[in-house]
Structure 1
Amino acid sequence: MKWVRPDDVDYDATCALFNAMIARRPAVIAACASADDVREALAYARQHSLAVAVFDPDNVFRGNQNIEPAA
Protein backbone atom coordinates (compact mmCIF):
# COMPACT_ATOMS: atom_id res chain seq x y z
CA MET A 1 0.00 0.00 0.00
CA LYS A 2 1.14 3.52 -0.69
CA TRP A 3 0.45 6.24 1.87
CA VAL A 4 0.32 9.84 0.61
CA ARG A 5 0.27 12.73 3.07
CA PRO A 6 -0.03 16.52 2.58
CA ASP A 7 3.73 17.02 2.95
CA ASP A 8 4.52 14.44 0.23
CA VAL A 9 5.70 15.79 -3.11
CA ASP A 10 3.01 13.90 -5.05
CA TYR A 11 0.11 14.84 -2.72
CA ASP A 12 -1.42 17.50 -5.01
CA ALA A 13 -1.22 15.26 -8.07
CA THR A 14 -2.75 12.35 -6.13
CA CYS A 15 -5.63 14.53 -4.93
CA ALA A 16 -6.27 15.73 -8.48
CA LEU A 17 -6.64 12.12 -9.61
CA PHE A 18 -9.72 11.72 -7.44
CA ASN A 19 -11.77 14.44 -9.10
CA ALA A 20 -10.18 17.55 -10.55
CA MET A 21 -13.54 19.37 -10.43
CA ILE A 22 -13.93 19.02 -6.65
CA ALA A 23 -11.16 20.14 -4.30
CA ARG A 24 -10.57 17.75 -1.44
CA ARG A 25 -7.61 17.84 0.95
CA PRO A 26 -7.64 14.55 2.88
CA ALA A 27 -5.36 14.11 5.90
CA VAL A 28 -3.93 10.98 4.29
CA ILE A 29 -4.54 8.95 1.15
CA ALA A 30 -4.17 5.18 1.28
CA ALA A 31 -3.71 3.71 -2.18
CA CYS A 32 -4.85 0.15 -1.51
CA ALA A 33 -4.01 -2.77 -3.76
CA SER A 34 -5.58 -5.60 -1.76
CA ALA A 35 -8.19 -6.41 0.85
CA ASP A 36 -5.42 -6.49 3.47
CA ASP A 37 -4.46 -2.93 2.48
CA VAL A 38 -8.07 -1.83 2.94
CA ARG A 39 -8.19 -3.43 6.40
CA GLU A 40 -4.92 -1.68 7.34
CA ALA A 41 -6.20 1.69 6.09
CA LEU A 42 -9.49 1.34 7.98
CA ALA A 43 -7.65 0.35 11.16
CA TYR A 44 -5.39 3.42 10.78
CA ALA A 45 -8.42 5.68 10.28
CA ARG A 46 -10.17 4.19 13.29
CA GLN A 47 -7.05 4.51 15.46
CA HIS A 48 -6.62 8.19 14.51
CA SER A 49 -10.35 9.11 14.46
CA LEU A 50 -10.24 10.01 10.76
CA ALA A 51 -13.29 10.20 8.52
CA VAL A 52 -13.18 7.68 5.68
CA ALA A 53 -14.07 8.26 2.03
CA VAL A 54 -13.84 5.47 -0.50
CA PHE A 55 -12.57 6.13 -4.00
CA ASP A 56 -12.92 3.57 -6.77
CA PRO A 57 -11.09 4.65 -9.93
CA ASP A 58 -13.27 2.34 -12.02
CA ASN A 59 -16.31 4.49 -11.19
CA VAL A 60 -14.95 8.04 -11.15
CA PHE A 61 -14.71 8.33 -14.92
CA ARG A 62 -18.33 7.26 -15.31
CA GLY A 63 -19.37 10.09 -12.98
CA ASN A 64 -20.66 7.76 -10.28
CA GLN A 65 -18.34 8.98 -7.56
CA ASN A 66 -18.33 12.06 -5.40
CA ILE A 67 -16.01 11.46 -2.48
CA GLU A 68 -17.70 12.46 0.77
CA PRO A 69 -16.63 11.19 4.18
CA ALA A 70 -18.98 8.76 5.86
CA ALA A 71 -21.07 10.26 8.65
Structure 2
Amino acid sequence: MTEEEEGALRTQLARLQQEHRDLDAAIAALAASPASDLLQVQRLKKRKLVLRDSIRLIEDQLTPDIIA
Protein backbone atom coordinates (compact mmCIF):
# COMPACT_ATOMS: atom_id res chain seq x y z
CA MET A 1 0.00 0.00 0.00
CA THR A 2 1.37 3.37 -0.98
CA GLU A 3 1.48 6.36 1.34
CA GLU A 4 -1.16 8.05 -0.82
CA GLU A 5 -3.54 5.10 -0.46
CA GLU A 6 -2.90 4.93 3.27
CA GLY A 7 -3.55 8.63 3.63
CA ALA A 8 -6.81 8.32 1.71
CA LEU A 9 -7.89 5.41 3.92
CA ARG A 10 -7.04 7.35 7.08
CA THR A 11 -9.03 10.35 5.81
CA GLN A 12 -12.00 8.13 5.02
CA LEU A 13 -11.65 6.43 8.42
CA ALA A 14 -11.72 9.78 10.22
CA ARG A 15 -14.82 10.84 8.26
CA LEU A 16 -16.64 7.59 9.05
CA GLN A 17 -15.71 7.79 12.74
CA GLN A 18 -17.06 11.35 12.90
CA GLU A 19 -20.29 10.31 11.22
CA HIS A 20 -20.57 7.39 13.68
CA ARG A 21 -20.20 9.79 16.62
CA ASP A 22 -22.75 12.17 15.08
CA LEU A 23 -25.25 9.34 14.67
CA ASP A 24 -24.66 8.30 18.27
CA ALA A 25 -25.53 11.82 19.42
CA ALA A 26 -28.59 11.96 17.14
CA ILE A 27 -29.85 8.61 18.44
CA ALA A 28 -29.40 9.73 22.03
CA ALA A 29 -31.25 12.99 21.33
CA LEU A 30 -34.12 11.19 19.62
CA ALA A 31 -34.36 8.59 22.37
CA ALA A 32 -34.56 11.35 25.00
CA SER A 33 -37.35 13.10 23.12
CA PRO A 34 -40.83 12.18 24.35
CA ALA A 35 -42.25 12.17 20.81
CA SER A 36 -39.42 10.19 19.25
CA ASP A 37 -40.00 8.35 16.00
CA LEU A 38 -39.05 4.73 16.69
CA LEU A 39 -38.72 3.95 12.99
CA GLN A 40 -36.26 6.83 12.56
CA VAL A 41 -34.26 5.65 15.58
CA GLN A 42 -34.07 2.13 14.12
CA ARG A 43 -32.89 3.50 10.76
CA LEU A 44 -30.18 5.53 12.47
CA LYS A 45 -29.05 2.51 14.49
CA LYS A 46 -28.88 0.41 11.32
CA ARG A 47 -26.80 3.11 9.59
CA LYS A 48 -24.54 3.24 12.65
CA LEU A 49 -23.95 -0.54 12.41
CA VAL A 50 -23.07 -0.22 8.71
CA LEU A 51 -20.61 2.54 9.57
CA ARG A 52 -19.06 0.42 12.33
CA ASP A 53 -18.51 -2.42 9.85
CA SER A 54 -16.93 -0.02 7.34
CA ILE A 55 -14.68 1.42 10.06
CA ARG A 56 -13.50 -2.05 11.06
CA LEU A 57 -12.82 -2.98 7.44
CA ILE A 58 -10.63 0.10 6.93
CA GLU A 59 -8.85 -0.46 10.26
CA ASP A 60 -8.08 -4.03 9.17
CA GLN A 61 -6.64 -2.73 5.90
CA LEU A 62 -4.44 -0.26 7.78
CA THR A 63 -3.21 -2.82 10.32
CA PRO A 64 -0.28 -4.83 8.94
CA ASP A 65 -0.59 -8.60 8.98
CA ILE A 66 1.68 -10.15 11.59
CA ILE A 67 2.79 -13.69 11.02
CA ALA A 68 3.09 -15.44 14.36
**TM-score (norm. length: structure 2):** 0.25
**TM-score (norm. length: structure 1):** 0.24
Q: Which has the higher contact order (CA 8 A, sep 6+)?
A: 2
